[in-house]
Amino acid sequence: MTDPLITQLSPMPEDWQRALAVVAHPDDLEYGCSAAIASWTDAGREVAYVLVTRGEAGIDTLPPEECAPLREQEQRASAAVVGVSTVEFLDHRDGVIEYGPALRRDIAAAIRRHRPELVITLNHRDTWGGTHWNTPDHVAVGRATLDAAADAGNRWIFPELTEQGLEPWDGVRWVAVAGSSSPTHAVDATDGMERAVRSLLEHRAYIEALTDRDPEEYVREFLIGFAREAGKRFGGRPAVTFELFPRAWA
Ligand SMILES: [Zn+2]
């Protein structure tokens, strides 16, 4: 039931065709919002993924040179489950991504290549809510993605991109931040949830290193629990939430 004392989230905009998701690590989108991505690709929309690192520092028992190709493979498999076939890697170093012009330029270049109307990223805020501290990679990539949505449309900030043949793209209308502690919008997760579970399960090596629990039980409990909790603010429907930053002022 909808509690009248709880502010309800708005439905995400639907009048767009292309989205680009930019996150720091393999698994960020699968923990964050892949049920929404599944329902978007079902509706015939195009979604591409850009990973700033290969997540090579993510598994304690695997050295980075062995971990990187494994996590890349898991990311491509998990994207395919939700209808995403374009997965690119920017090859910044996992764990020490630096916020700054180099990161903004690399993300702006990706936005110019893909020309999305909607850009998706992961929580750029200091915490996940309360005192659950976020990681520096997520903060850096989230902030740089919010900035790069504007940088991509400016001919003069990174003139080297135009010289490489990447013309400015000022068509980003929104940046949607998944996993934010201050969400404003949501997508019904009902139809996409099973694929979201299977998509996260593709990160099997990572999950098996993370927990001793049965991977499927762990993944189901995590994703369904979050969606149910979010649903309290979305008319009781299981939901994936976003903090939406519109770019158009007109
Ligand atoms: Zn991450």
Give distance in angstroms: CA of 128 to centre of ligand 1.
Answer: 12
243-248 average pLDDT score: 92
Contact in structure between 114 and 48 (CB atoms under 8 Å): yes
Give distance in angstroms: CA of 209 to centre of ligand 1.
Answer: 15
Label residues 1-31 b or e (16+ Cβ within 10 Å = b): eeeeeeeebeebeeebeebbbbbbbbbbbbb
CATH architecture of 10-246: 3-Layer(aba) Sandwich (3.40)
Contact in structure between 56 and 27 (CB atoms under 8 Å): no
At residue 250, does pLDDT exceed 80?
no
pLDDT digits (tens, 9 = 90+) for 66-88: 999 999 999 999 999 999 999 99
46-70 average pLDDT score: 96
Residues that place a CB less than 5 A from ion ligand 1: 25, 28
pLDDT digits (tens, 9 = 90+) for 89-134: 999 999 999 999 999 999 999 999 999 999 999 999 999 999 999 9
State percent of the chain over pLDDT 90.
Answer: 95
Confidence at residue 175, expressed as pLDDT on a 0 to 100 scale: 98
At residue 168, does pLDDT exceed 80?
yes
Pairing mode of beta strands 185-188, 87-89 = unpaired
Confidence at residue 32, expressed as pLDDT on a 0 to 100 scale: 86
Distance between CA 40 and CA 79 in Å, rounded? 13
Q: With helix as H, strand as E and coil as C, how does 38-98 read? A: HHHHHCCCEEEEEECCCCCCCCCCCCHHHHHHHHHHHHHHHHHHCCCCCEEECCCCCCCCC
Give distance in angstroms: CA of 2 to centre of ligand 1.
Answer: 32
DSSP secondary-structure letter at 177? E
Give distance in angstroms: CA of 198 to centre of ligand 1.
Answer: 18
pLDDT digits (tens, 9 = 90+) for 185-194: 999 999 999 9
219-235 average pLDDT score: 96
Give distance in angstroms: CA of 11 to centre of ligand 1.
Answer: 25
Confidence at residue 3, expressed as pLDDT on a 0 to 100 scale: 67
Give distance in angstroms: CA of 141 to centre of ligand 1.
Answer: 10
Confidence at residue 1, expressed as pLDDT on a 0 to 100 scale: 54
Give distance in angstroms: CA of 213 to centre of ligand 1.
Answer: 20
Give distance in angstroms: CA of 135 to centre of ligand 1.
Answer: 8
Average pLDDT along the chain: 96
142-151 average pLDDT score: 98
Give distance in angstroms: CA of 138 to centre of ligand 1.
Answer: 6
Confidence at residue 6, expressed as pLDDT on a 0 to 100 scale: 77
